[in-house]
């Protein structure tokens, strides 16, 4: 394993924060699928995971992260301050637009689909048909602001509203 990859994997594994630093966006390197480091992210429900692949999403500059959402989990309406490009890696990615969660507004995207989301666009997700993984590319700092503060997992201990029971 080359020194750059070893350093990047150590940074991903040691960093306790939600936004660990991935491979530098200005150097060549690789991360193999089996070496992706999934971590909890405070702005997501506890079952969801985030993996930092490239860059440091907490700082200005390009980043690439992956988001893994288990079956039936909902991410309530929220916005991001940065433009984003989503690529569906696996599962079916459901996204809807608006400030109120509305299952009728969800559109399904199969693996390989690419979705462009301009900054500050209110939207929501639901892992309606099973777990999905998306790869998100953007220019940091990464941010997330929920439309309703009570929907923000950082503000509640047991967000029961996030599941379709």
Q: What is the pLDDT of residues 71-83, one digit of tens each?
A: 999 999 999 999 9
What pLDDT score was predicted for residue 30? 86
- Quick one: how far is CA 57 from the chain centroid? 11
Say whether 71 sits in a helix, a strand or coil. Answer: coil
Instruction: State the Cα–Cα distance between residues 114 and 134, nearest whole angstrom.
Output: 9
Instruction: State the fold for domain 3-162.
Output: Jelly Rolls (2.60.120)
Tokens read off for 62 = 């390009």
pLDDT(165) > 60: no
pLDDT value, residue 157: 60
**Cis ω for the linkage preceding 148 (within 30 of 0):** no
Q: Give the pLDDT confidence score for residue 12 in this predicted structure.
A: 36
Domain ranges in the chain are: 3-162
Kindly report the number of other CB atoms within 10 A of residue 118's CB atom. Answer: 9
């Amino acid at each position: 394993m080359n020194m750059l990859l070893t350093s990047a994997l150590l940074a991903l594994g040691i960093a306790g924060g939600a936004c660990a630093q991935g491979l530098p966006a200005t150097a060549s390197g690789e991360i193999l699928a089996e070496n992706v480091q999934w971590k909890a992210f405070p702005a997501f429900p506890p079952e969801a995971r985030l993996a930092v692949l490239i860059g440091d999403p907490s700082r200005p500059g390009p980043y690439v992260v992956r988001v893994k959402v288990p079956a039936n989990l909902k991410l309530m309406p929220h916005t991001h301050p940065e433009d984003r490009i989503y690529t569906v890696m696996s599962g079916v990615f459901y996204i809807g637009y608006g400030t109120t969660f509305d299952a009728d507004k969800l559109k399904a995207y199969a693996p390989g689909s690419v979705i462009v989301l301009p900054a500050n666009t209110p939207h929501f997700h639901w892992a309606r048909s099973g777990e999905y993984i998306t790869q998100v590319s953007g220019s940091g700092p990464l941010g997330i602001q929920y439309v309703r503060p009570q929907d923000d997992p950082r503000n509640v201990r047991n967000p029961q509203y996030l599941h379709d029971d």
